[in-house]
Structure 1
Amino acid sequence: MANSNLTAAKKAKNDEFYTQYHDIEKEINAYLDFDPNVFRGKTLLLPCDDPEWSNFTKFFAQNFERLGLKKLVSTSYAIDSKPIKEGYQVTMFEESAPQYDRLKTTKHGKIFTLTRDTSGDGEIDVNDLEWRYMDGDGDFKSKEVKKLRDEADIIITNPPFSLFRDFLAWIIEAEKQFVIIGNMNAITYKEVFPLIKENKMWLGNGFHAGNAFFSTPFAEEYGEGVYNPETGLVKFRNVCWFTNLDHGRRHQPLKLMTLLDNKRFNKKIQNNAGSYFKYDNYDAIEVPFTEAIPNDYTGIMGVPISFLEKYNPYQFEIEGITDREKDNSIRTKTYTKKDSPKYGDLNRRAALIIDGELKPVYARLLIKHKNQQS
């Protein structure tokens, strides 16, 4: 249900989700634990971010000195360009500022910068943020924001899910370090998977227990199990952090059993008839659960994309990815030699087949153990 609601939000572009402060703190601390100086002396850009609503600027401003930042820059998108213009009210923060302009407030983005102690209290924190209206609406593709991108060292934000492809391409074009939030299904995108395969991008530390909670102006549009009226938050399970900053979890080896021990002791495997079957159209076996990857199998294995949450690039190699079959009715179809995908074909049109029948509904990553020959 959460996945279908997130997909609907993406299509409707009602995807303005605000990340919880403690989730940002947990994620950033994972990079600091691995390298305490990862942000030291760096210029940080937080596009798609307004500290009046978002917690990203608040977190980095409050921790400016602890992180050793050189400069913090965040930009917000003009309210005229958002689907929430109806009922919009200027905040006290903006209206009480001497630079407030009622003609610009809905048509121009805002830029917030932090470099120094402006309040005179001897600390650099959120109280020292300086802001002004941008020349344009704050669109990340504008020349104005591109210039800020090119001057930054690291880009961190939660971009609109509907713009994830474009936003990631915008970052990669500039060859910047980044930490961004996205739908886990983005792993299967043709623009995204090559970056993961080539170890140019990976999943971050992740949300607690795999649950991401967001505030959003559209919270009440979501049903039971997604929207919690008591907290005012929506919950999604298929959301993750994407990054090219290193962290400790991706260096932890996955502890696994042998194939035989999995068959003997792993109840999930015992209750899954398709486990370890060979695919008809590719020389690999089906492994339906990450924890069921056998440590003694030297060939290629098809695993769920959620495997990337446990992926250690020193333990495994990623060989490819298959497509997911979008038409669920085809699951009952028996494939013939004529219409089956070409054997060994890893192009994105191919779905994996077991015993002449399409088994996995979702995409499979094709992996093998590092330094093992098939």
Structure 2
Amino acid sequence: MSAILTLNAGSSSLKFGLYHLSEEPELLLKGQVENLGPLARLKVKGGETREIGPADHAVALHEILQAIEPVLDGRVVLGVGHRVVHGGMNFGEPEVLTEPVLAKLRTLEPLAPLHQPHNLAAVYAAQKEFPESVQIGCFDTAFHRHHPFVNDTYALPYKYYEQGVRRYGFHGISYDYITSCLRRDWPELYKGRVVVAHLGNGASMCAIKAGQSVSSTMGFSALDGLPMGSRCGQIDPGVLLYFMAQGMDANAISDMLYNDSGLKGLSGISHDMRTLLDSDDPHAAQAIDYYVFRIKRELGALATVMGGLDGVVFCGGIGEHAAPIRARVVGEMEFMGLKLDAAANDAGETRIGTGPVEVLVIPTDEERVIARSVADALLA
């Protein structure tokens, strides 16, 4: 009687999944501690919501352990799986998180400051709670490891590419899950050319050809590509040089690009798409207009990279739940073979297209991908 625990740590939340250990892990319980800080609360899917009060990742994990204890029912947690956003050049497969590995991952914190430190904080907390369990890291960058050179490089002196200044891409665990769903349920589409749009507080898009990532909108860091909740997305580097010339230092620029830009910065209202869609403020409308524009622009570019398009898949919090955003993207790209079934879209159905290019909505499940990786390690 053995179990797997998965931890997906962000700056303000710690998501968890508890699974019975088997070749295809069986979900026992799922939830998260959200609003880490002074007013954290525990939410169990299909169960309780409980106010916790002040909590960091260590306190959050302790609360999670209390929630899973009755469900464990004698099972022993043999493995803990972690989402780690940045694996750099060194890590392309799930990895046992030994201290030497963790030391290398700490050096990547400047490339993903909103994620990497919190990912590793959850690892250290889990090591204390489960000292005998194997800790496995799964990397968001791993799915994109085999891009063609032209999709990985920047037009900088080549020595910097060799040093690791390259396009890594992110959200790979989510893309891995969506690809597994296509392989199982849409095998012909899986063999073709698909753009997956992972749209949430963090957002990116990925061109996937025959199950393999060939290009992603995100690059060296998790800032590039689409505008996000509070991150800028694509920006002319000359703008950053201008800010520096005006006296802004690296910390101030970094804080603005990561925390005060994107939907939040453009609207001046909120990073939350739900709030913006409900608002009659013209700045909210402008922020949404820009968001949709960038999705359409990247969709065209990614289709070109693959030499055509057979399907589009929406996932992530916005991709799965914001029907108006999907409608504006699909409804304005009929020239590419995308045609919206408005009723299916409004109803949140899986298949929302009627044109020659398939359009799907598939809820992502990063925790299951992590659990599968832990199971593979334990059952090998």
Alignment TM class, shorter chain as reference: under 0.3
State the TM-score, normalized to the length of structure 1: 0.28
Which one has a bigger Cα radius of gyration? 1
State the TM-score, normalized to the length of structure 2: 0.28
